[in-house]
Structure 1
Amino acid sequence: MLQVNKLNVTLDTLILAKDMSFSLEPGKVHVIIGPNGTGKSTLLKTLFGDIQPTSGDISFRDTSLKRKQISRWREQFGYMPQDIRLDIELSVLEVVLLGQLNALGLRLDNSLIKQALTALEKIGLLHLANRPVNKLSGGQCQMILFAQALMRNPKILMLDEPVSALDLHFQHVLLDHLDTQTKQQSWVTLMVLHDLNLAAQYADNLLVLKNGHVVASGHPSDILTPALVKEVYDVNAEVTKDSYGIPFIRTIRPGFTPQKPTLQPHNLQSKRTICL
């Protein structure tokens, strides 16, 4: 279990985490939601060790995050950050193989190549294996970096807006595979999503952040309400549930009053009565 206890993070005068405490169970997909600038990406960077907290404790399996042991701490992670830049002269297969950088040598093990090809096949991009990554679209790069993160065989998998550049099909390909692997491998999976409806579909547990605080946590069907959406985003919304009990959020435009369509009469041709 990944545990965060009384975490405080301050950058300059901006407070991004204030006495933040929560636990993340393995085998579950945990999703962070919240407005822009509330510290979602900062939280991931802090858990990874890129940002040093002002105070508080982060631990996993009785091991605490310490600056002197940062390399060892990161060996447990697969981390896919938000910023994607792949301006490098490498093939897709080579980039995926970098997920096992510590195992690479002068001669590639066939098992590693097979593992990388299998990862690409499962996300539907095996046909791109030999393509230069600097010729790919932003969405394709996201999928390639996702495959690279999986190659690390992580204990903790963190993804920052992993579907932001993906179309509807690949959003579900990535998130379905992520959910399956999380449960099969008992990973602690934590990701940031902006789409509340995707979060509602794929999260086993939601962490709702605002102003450096966890204002709500729990299963989407239990905590996603119009009142919560209004409190966090200052937006009016309707929340309904489908036949599976999954919430669906529809935001309401401010000051918008929908008008019912006016029925226009059809042009009826007059019928001529013929008398015999």
Structure 2
Amino acid sequence: MLTVDKANIQLGSLTLARDMSFDLKPGQITAILGPNGTGKSTLLKTLFGEIKLDSGEIAYCGHRLSYQSLAQWRHQFGYMPQDINLDVNLTVIEVILLGRLDALSLRVDDQTLNQVLHILDNIGIAHLANRSVNTLSGGQCQMVLFAQALMRDPAIMMLDEPVSALDLHHQHVLLEHLVCQTREKQCITLMVLHDLNLAAQYADNLLVLKQGDLVACGHPKQILTSELVEEIYNVEAQVITDDTGVPFVRTLRSKKAA
């Protein structure tokens, strides 16, 4: 279990986390929701050790985050940041292999190469294997970075807006594969999403942030309400339940325009 206990994060005069506590369990996907600038990406960077806590504690399986041994802490993560520049003269296969940089030798063995090809095939981009990444579209690069994170076979998967550049088909391909990876490997998965309906469909739990506060935490069926959407996003909305029992959010208008 990954535990965040009374975390406080302050950047200058801006409070990005205020006395924040929650647990993330193996085999479950948690989606972070909230308006722009509310600290969603900052929370991921804090868990990864890029941003220091002002106070509080982060621990995984009883081991506390220590800034003196970050390499050891980060070894268990597959982290896909929001913005990565892939303007490099490397093939897709080479970029994905970088996910195993700590275990690579001068010669890539057949087992490792087959693992890369298997991942590419599973997420539907095997045809890109020998393409240079600087010739790919934004959505294709996003799928390559997802494959790189999978290549680490991580205990903790963290993805910052992993479907922002993807078309509808590839959004579902990525998220369906993420569900399979999380269940089969019993890893902890945490992702930032802006699409409330994708979050409701694919996440086991939601963390809803606003102005540095964790205002709601729980299963989408329990916490995703029209009142919550109005409070967080300042819009009028209807939340209905589809035939499978999943909440569906229909936004109507900005409250300011009403």
TM superposition score normalised by structure 2:
0.98
| 8 A Cα contact 1:29 1:182, kept in partner | yes
- For 1:183 and 1:104, locate their aligned partners in 2 and report how far apart those are by CA, in whole Å: 27
Displacement of 1:85 after TM fit? Answer: 1.1
| 8 A Cα contact 2:235 2:251, kept in partner | yes
Displacement of 1:253 after TM fit? Answer: 1.9
Match of 2:152 in 1: 152
Change (3 A) 1:204 1:46: same
- For 1:54 and 1:242, locate their aligned partners in 2 and report how far apart those are by CA, in whole Å: 42
| Structure 2: segments with no counterpart, 5+ residues | none
SS at structure 2 position matched to 1:236: strand
Map 1:66-81; keep pairs closer than 5 Å.
66-81=66-81
SS at structure 1 position matched to 2:69: helix
Which one-letter code corresponds to 1:220 in the other structure?
A: P
| 8 A Cα contact 1:38 1:209, kept in partner | yes
- For 2:71 and 2:253, locate their aligned partners in 1 and report how far apart those are by CA, in whole Å: 48
| 8 A Cα contact 2:31 2:206, kept in partner | yes
Match of 1:126 in 2: 126
- For 1:200 and 1:67, locate their aligned partners in 2 and report how far apart those are by CA, in whole Å: 34
- For 1:247 and 1:147, locate their aligned partners in 2 and report how far apart those are by CA, in whole Å: 29
Map 1:47-58; keep pairs closer than 5 Å.
47-58=47-58
| 8 A Cα contact 1:34 1:233, kept in partner | yes
Displacement of 1:84 after TM fit? Answer: 2.5
Change (3 A) 1:138 1:161: same
Displacement of 1:210 after TM fit? Answer: 0.7
Which one-letter code corresponds to 1:38 in the other structure?
A: T
Match of 2:18 in 1: 18
Match of 2:45 in 1: 45
- For 2:162 and 2:223, locate their aligned partners in 1 and report how far apart those are by CA, in whole Å: 23
- Report the count of equivalent residues: 257
Match of 2:249 in 1: 249
> Per-residue displacement from partner, 1:243-268 (whole Å, max 9, x unpaired)?
111011011124879xxxxxxxxxxx
Displacement of 1:154 after TM fit? Answer: 0.3
- For 1:191 and 1:254, locate their aligned partners in 2 and report how far apart those are by CA, in whole Å: 26
- Which structure has the greater CA radius of gyration? 1
Is 1:32 matched up with 2:52?
A: no
| 8 A Cα contact 1:197 1:249, kept in partner | yes
Which one-letter code corresponds to 1:23 in the other structure?
A: D
Is 1:201 matched up with 2:201?
A: yes
- For 2:18 and 2:207, locate their aligned partners in 1 and report how far apart those are by CA, in whole Å: 15
| 8 A Cα contact 1:80 1:160, kept in partner | yes
| 8 A Cα contact 2:32 2:190, kept in partner | yes
**After TM superposition, which residue ranges in structure 1, 4 or more long, deviate above 6 angstroms?**
none
Displacement of 1:142 after TM fit? Answer: 0.3
Which one-letter code corresponds to 1:234 in the other structure?
A: N
TM superposition score normalised by structure 1:
0.92
Match of 1:221 in 2: 221
SS at structure 1 position matched to 2:68: helix
Displacement of 1:213 after TM fit? Answer: 1.1
- For 1:129 and 1:216, locate their aligned partners in 2 and report how far apart those are by CA, in whole Å: 41
Match of 2:161 in 1: 161
Match of 2:105 in 1: 105
